[in-house]
Amino acid sequence: MFGKKREQDLDKAQQLMIEDQLKARGIKNEQLLQVMGQLPRHLFVHPDQHNLAYSDKPLPIGQQQTISQPYIVAHMTELLNLPADGNVTVLEVGTGSGYQAAVLSQLVKQVYTVERILALAENAHDVFKKLALTNIKQTVTDGGYGWSNHAPFDRIIVTAAGPTIPPPLVDQLADDGVLIAPVGGRNNQQLIRLTRQGARIQHENLTAVLFVPLRGEHGWQK
């Protein structure tokens, strides 16, 4: 358990994150800001890094994976154009620490999240249970294939970078759906947003980013 001083320090760091990292860079969605101002991000990192949990950088979570910096989580979430009533389902490819899924769970009806590394999925499950996040469903598999049993999805968010957007994910995107993914080489990528309107798919290049590689059949093999 944290001592009172420790809890106060974490609370202060969390509010500074909201003001200095998110609002200062143009994050405007009030629901999102409220969620990230309350969700205990430090529970999603190793205890040795609790004091860094709200800092402006990604952090290692083991298995050569990272938890994205807070701004990137907020930016990608905002780019999904979630409805105010939250009446949508979201597929997340790459559970990782579970933080992105947890943020989304407070904004939408249902989150489905896919992770290929069992240890990370289990750690995330423990945090979801601790926080009583009951609208998150998990599976362990190659995320590039999505989760066809629960498709179509109103929104899809990919939190690892591949050379292209996996075709199964595009196939699982609902009509009027939005997909966000980092795409490019190993050392530089762009956030791509796809919007489906019937058979027509609009493609937008957005922010330059750097993510860990998407592993699997539709990502990097090594």
Q: 135 is written with which tokens?
A: 């609208």
pLDDT the model gives residue 5: 78
pLDDT the model gives residue 213: 87
pLDDT the model gives residue 2: 55
pLDDT the model gives residue 144: 93
To which residue do tokens 């995330």 refer? 124
pLDDT the model gives residue 186: 80
pTM exceeds 0.75: yes
**Helices and strands of the chain, counted as H and E runs:** 6, 9
pLDDT tens string 10-42: 999 999 999 999 999 999 999 999 999 999 999
Active site residue 68: yes
Q: Which of 68, 97, 105, 148 is catalytic?
A: 68
pLDDT the model gives residue 218: 78
Residue ranges per structural domain of the chain: 4-209
Q: Which residues of the chain have pLDDT under 70?
A: 1-2, 220-222
Tell me phi and psi for residue 37, to 5 degrees: -80, -10
The C-alpha atoms of residue 28 and residue 93 are separated, in whole angstroms, by: 25
CATH of domain 4-209: 3.40.50.150
